[in-house]
Structure 1
Amino acid sequence: MRYLIRTIRADEWELCREIRLAALQDPVAKIAFLDTYEDAVTRSDSFWRERAEGASEGASESGGSVRQFVAEAPDGSWAGTITLLVERPSDEPRFGAPAKTDQTHIVGVYVRPEARGTGVIDALFRAGVEWSWALPEPVIGRVRLYVHEDNARAATFYRRFGFVETGERVAVPGDADALEVEYEVLRPAGDAA
């Protein structure tokens, strides 16, 4: 099956909610997300509208700091998603160490089980990393993400895609005995926006 990789539109908040709730019901959700299905399902429609609006293509064009990509099937359903947050050294850190350079942070990675192994995740990551390098302002120096130390499947993909461990470790909120491991990919040398 062929998928269209694109950014979300602001009016697609119901699809954003649906795929997020599906992600939070995945068997690895407990180690893959810092959110729970029980919390997410109680959020209001206005929460999901604002979330979609803030991560949509129009928001980013006007200086927004979030972009959500989806893999859309021919029938209009979404097979997977990733979200990128722009982080600047002057920003309060959302998670992990403060930014030392302008960077994007990949979060909310999810591919439906039936689409796994089809290349959807590779296409989503290519789109997100290419978007990061193409931003005219700020010029992004690296793309980072965190993965739970027990999420071997995800860590294997990130390494295969070209991400490397930075050595940074962060305690998982609510579980001081577990760690999130930071990975990064640096802007290619000589690649200017």
Structure 2
Amino acid sequence: MSSPDGVTKHDEKYLVRAIRAEEWPAVRALRLQALRDPVAHLAFLETYEAAAAKPDSFWQERAIGAAEGAAGARQFIAEDPDGGWVGSVTVLVEEAGTIDWAGTPVERRQGHVVGVYVRPEHRGCGLTEVLFDEALRWAWEIGAERVRLIVHEDNGRAQRFYRRVGFLPSGVTVPLTADPEANELEYVLVRP
């Protein structure tokens, strides 16, 4: 269930909401934690070292844009009862007629899900689904025709989850520059 301000309760245990601009230190901390996950090399296109080296101004700008949604992004987090951040998902808006991060033309207004992370001790309880529900609700509200995500070909756990919540492989592959022998696979969900 979602309220008008984008806050969702999940089993009265978690609060899912959009981040606020002043929460940039928590945005940074959760991202760095995600990049230390054992499968981070399959899940993220960034290393811990690269992210940790970024100045505070980077994290401040990132949080401002993802809090307001005005910069073409919205980040949602899950809080535990003590206010600790235990999960996150971000939706980037890609406009028709632009070029995406991989150099491919964008044909329609779409959401692009990135930065999916739930702390290991909170996985398997349905929290990721609730994060996705909130992210997708926002994408549809802003007029996205579809939502896509890119997943490493060896990340079977993530692929199974994405299929379970309705995403399907589009057949598009994106070669990785860091590992020319590996690919990322595009999964899409068309507006209901």
**TM > 0.5:** yes
Residue in structure 2 matched with residue 16 of structure 1 by the alignment:
27
The answer to whether structure 1 residue 124 and structure 2 residue 131 are counterparts is yes
**Structure 1 segments (4+ residues) deviating >3 Å:** none
Corresponding residue number in structure 2 for 1:88: 95
Q: Is the 8 A contact 1:81 1:111 kept in 2?
A: yes
Amino acid at match of 2:19: I
Q: Confirm or deny: 8 A CA contact 1:34 1:173 kept in the other structure.
A: no
The 3-state SS of whatever aligns with 1:16 is helix
What does 1:95-134 correspond to in 2, within 5 Å? 95=102, 97-134=104-141
Matched residue SS, 1:185: strand
Q: Which amino acid aligns with 1:152?
A: G
Deviation at 1:96, TM superposition (A): 6.1
2:190 to 178, 186, 189: 186
Match of 1:35 in 2: 46
CA separation in 2, counterparts of 1:140 and 1:74?
32
Aligned partners of 2:97 and 2:108 also within 8 Å: no
CA-based RMSD of the aligned residues comes to 1.1
Question: Which residues of 2 match residues 159-174 of structure 1 at below 5 A?
Answer: 159-174=163-178
Please give the alpha-carbon distance, in whole angstroms, between the structure 1 residues aligned to 2:78 and 2:126: 10
Structure 2: stretches of 5+ with no match in the other structure: 1-11
SS at match of 1:155: helix
Identity %: 51
Letter in 2 for 1:69: F
Hey, what's the Cα distance between the residues in 2 that align with 1:124 and 1:95?
25
The alignment status of 1:48 with 2:52, answered yes or no, reads no
Q: CA deviation at 1:42?
A: 1.1
Unmatched runs of 5 consecutive residues or more in structure 1: 189-193
Once the 2 structures are TM-superposed, how far is the Cα of residue 98 of structure 1 from its aligned partner?
2.3
SS at match of 2:182: strand
Distance 2:131 2:85 in 1: 12
1:93 to partner: Cα distance: 1.1
The one-letter code of the counterpart of 1:65 is: G
- Aligned equivalent of 2:7: none
Q: For residues 114 and 152 of structure 1, what CA distance do their matches in structure 2 show?
A: 19
How many residues are matched? 181
- The alignment partner of 1:35 has SS state of coil
Superposed CA offset, 1:125-181 (max 9, x none): 00011111111xxx2110000000000000000000000000000101211110000
Partner of 1:151: 155
Distance in 2 (alpha carbons) for counterparts of 1:147 and 1:26: 16
Q: Secondary structure at the residue paired with 2:186?
A: strand
SS of aligned partner of 2:112: strand
After TM superposition, give the deviation of residue 46 of structure 1 in Å. Answer: 0.9
1:63-91 per-position Cα deviation (integer Å, ceiling 9, x unaligned): 43000000011111111000100001222
